[in-house]
Every structure is written in C-alpha cells, then in structure tokens.
Amino acid sequence: MDYSKIKINKYFPKRTPEEYDRLYITDELEKISWAMDQLSFGHLDVSNVAPIKPRQGDIRYGDGTNWNPGEGEGIYFFNAAGSWVKFGEEIPRFLIWVLGE
C-alpha cells in the first residue's frame, strides 16, 4: 500500500476475517506502524472543522479558513478555560517534547 497519499493520520481497521489470514494481519500491522510513525515524527493533520468534544490539553492544526479557532491558520491548544489558544512563533518546550523535535 502506498501510504504517501494518505491525508488522515488515523488507523481504521478493516473488518476481521472469519479465519486466520496472515496477509490481513501483516497489512493491519503495517497500517498501525505507519500511524504511529507519523505521530512520532511530529505530524499534525490539518483540521478544517472544530473537534466535537475538545478536552483540556488537545492540540490541533487549524486550517484558518473552514475552521478558524481565532487567529487564522496555525497550531492551537485547548486550555482549562475552554478556549483555543494559538501557539506563538516560539514552540513551547513541552510541545517539542511531545512532538519529538
């Protein structure tokens, strides 16, 4: 499978076969590995809609057009006050740790 064209960084399992299927398991493990790699490389999918139930600490990359959390395109976090706050030019240390530089 060519993962370079995938635009969403999520794992969606296929329907489980009735009997053991080695190819199915190999394919699913490859998809899981790819999704985990994207996270470890610091990739954030661009969001064009607001999350339905945001939680304190959520981080999103807002496209600034279809979903503009407040200050145009950029990376935002959801704070304890229930607001989306845009990261400034400097990336906070904790985000560097989370994204792995």
Q: Decide if pLDDT at 15 tops 70.
A: yes
Q: How far apart are CA 4 and CA 84, in angstroms?
A: 30
What per-residue confidence (pLDDT) applies to 70? 87
Contacts of 55 (CB under 8 A, 6+ apart): 78
For residue 92, the tally of other CB atoms under 10 A from its CB is 11
Q: How far apart are CA 101 and CA 98, in angstroms?
A: 8
Residues 95, 59 contacting (CB under 8 angstroms): yes
The structure tokens 């995938």 sit at: 6
What per-residue confidence (pLDDT) applies to 31? 84
What per-residue confidence (pLDDT) applies to 87? 83
pLDDT digits 0-9 by tens, 33-92: 877 777 667 778 888 999 999 999 888 899 999 999 988 999 998 999 999 999 875 555
What per-residue confidence (pLDDT) applies to 82? 92
What per-residue confidence (pLDDT) applies to 76? 92
